[in-house]
Amino acid sequence: MAKKKTTKKKSSKKKSTKKKSTKKKSSKKKSTKKSSKKKTSKSEEQKVEEEEVSIDPLDTLDYNVGDIPGVGSATRKKLVDAGYDTLQALAIIPPGVIMEDCGIGEKTSEKIVKAARDILNLDYKSAEDVWERRKNLARITSGCQQIDELLGGGFETGGITELFGEYRTGKTQICHQLCVNVQKPKSEGGIDGNALYIDTEGTFRPERLIQMAESHGMDPQNVLKRIFTARAYNSQHQIILIKDAHRQIAEHNINLVIVDSLISHFRSEYIGRGTLANRQQLLNQHIHDLQRLSDIYPNLAVIVTNQVQSKPDVFFGDPNRATGGHVLAHAATTRLYVRKGKGEQRVMKVKDSPNLPEGEAIFVISDGGIIDP
């Protein structure tokens, strides 16, 4: 009898251990369910992030030339040395330009451009996607409320803005002011970026930047450190500086490129009607280099200044018109005409824009920079 009792006890113990083991298994199942939920949520987040990136691949600048299949080390070095160190730069440039700049054959250049476009998936987009991108475009304040309202919030990135007018109308002063304002945080109308200033007429003045920085409560030394300038001594040197701008933008976090003035060297070097065709062709290529910069870097604002010429056959109204002809007129995204007003006042007028209505703004050039009248 005693043996039977012991066997019953042992069997009861076995049952209890089985119950415990089943409970442990069920708890493990629950934990695996929770972990699977976490994994699915993470995968869903990754999908959302991938979809956001795929909306506009030009916004991400992590793509490297080495990502193109079939590009060897020698070809890669030629591309990087010429300033084409990202897929964005290769995807939107004509193959013929790569041939000239890098010394690469025609078929190889075409293959490289096609591969870059395929990787970035540059294709048709809906108007809604374009609108979402334009809503997020950064703008740089001018320091004058009237000008900012005229431009819809300030000088926008992702395009070329042309300032043309007579001498002493404030074109260079506006460029200096933008070099200071681009360094401000977004809450104060800036982009928290740096500026690249190409000076063709010898009018760049650091002391003017110091005055503007002090009037805005900024550290002048820090402001000067974040502005990179180069003097262009002729039209060919000016073209080379713009071609090298890709490298400067990537290295120094450039969000503003200024060319002051765009056409000065071209007017002085190409004299007479016999050279007009060559001048316009070279100028057209130069402007398209600037356009590609604004296309590659959506958070980059390109500002160019332009001179004017007087029409002798105009007896009434303003005889001044911008130089550069139709080539420059079609290239600029927004054209702004600056003229003298009453006393110390200056007037800015929207001459051409794809989205801004015609209008005028009055501003004053003070010791501290561009201000409201």
Query: pLDDT value at position 14?
Result: 44
Of 238, 144, 371, 339, nearest to 348 by C-alpha is: 339
Contact 290, 227 (CB under 8 A): no
The topology (CATH level 3) of 60-120 is DNA polymerase; domain 1 (1.10.150)
* Cα–Cα separations (whole angstroms), residue 193 to 167, 176, 188, 204: 29, 15, 13, 19
pLDDT digits (tens, 9 = 90+) for 281-313: 999 999 999 998 888 888 999 999 999 988 776
Sorted by where each begins, the domain ranges of the chain are 60-120, 133-371
User: Rounded to 5 degrees, what are φ and ψ at 365?
Assistant: -95, 110
Q: Longest C-alpha distance within the chain, in Å?
A: 133
Q: What is the 3-state secondary structure (H, E, C) of 40-67?
A: HHHHHHHHHHHHHHHHCHHHCCCCCHHH
Residue 82, classified by CB atoms within 10 Å of its CB into exposed (0-12), middle (13-18) or buried (19+), is buried
pTM of the model: 0.77
User: What gap in Å lies between CA 366 and CA 373, rounded to an integer?
Assistant: 10
Residue 144, Ramachandran bin (φ over 0: left; ψ between -120 and 50: alpha; else beta): beta
Closest by CA to 175, choosing from 192, 146, 196, 159, is 196
Q: 231 is written with which tokens?
A: 């003097």
* CA distance to 117, 150, 168, per residue, from 346 (Å): 45, 14, 10
Per-residue DSSP letter, 357: P
In angstroms, the CA 68 to CA 80 distance is 13
Taking the C-alpha atoms of residue 325 and residue 307, their distance in angstroms, rounded to an integer, is 11
Cα separation, 268 vs 70, in Å, equals 45
Taking alpha carbons only, the member of 190, 229, 187 closest to residue 213 is: 190
> How do the pLDDT tens digits run along the chain, 373 residues long?
444 444 444 444 444 444 444 444 444 444 444 444 444 444 454 444 444 433 444 454 456 777 787 788 888 888 888 877 777 778 888 888 888 888 888 888 888 888 888 887 777 889 998 898 888 889 999 999 999 999 999 999 999 999 999 999 999 999 999 999 999 999 999 999 999 999 999 999 999 999 999 999 999 999 999 999 999 999 999 999 998 888 888 889 999 999 999 999 999 999 888 888 999 999 999 999 999 888 888 899 999 999 998 877 666 777 788 988 889 889 899 999 999 999 889 999 999 999 999 999 999 999 999 999 9
Among 149, 202, 146, 208, smallest CA distance to 177 is for: 208
- In the sheet with 194-199, reading across from the earlier edge strand, the strands are 227-231, 194-199, 254-260, 301-306, 159-165, 334-340, 345-352, 360-366, 369-371
Look at residue 210 in the predicted model and tell me its pLDDT: 97
CATH number given to 133-371: 3.40.50.300
Q: Which residues pair with 349 in a beta bridge?
A: 337, 360
Contacts 24+ apart (CB under 8 A), 110-114: 111/70, 112/68, 112/71, 112/75, 112/79
| Cβ neighbours for 68, distance < 8 A, ≥ 6 positions apart | 87, 90, 112, 115, 116, 119
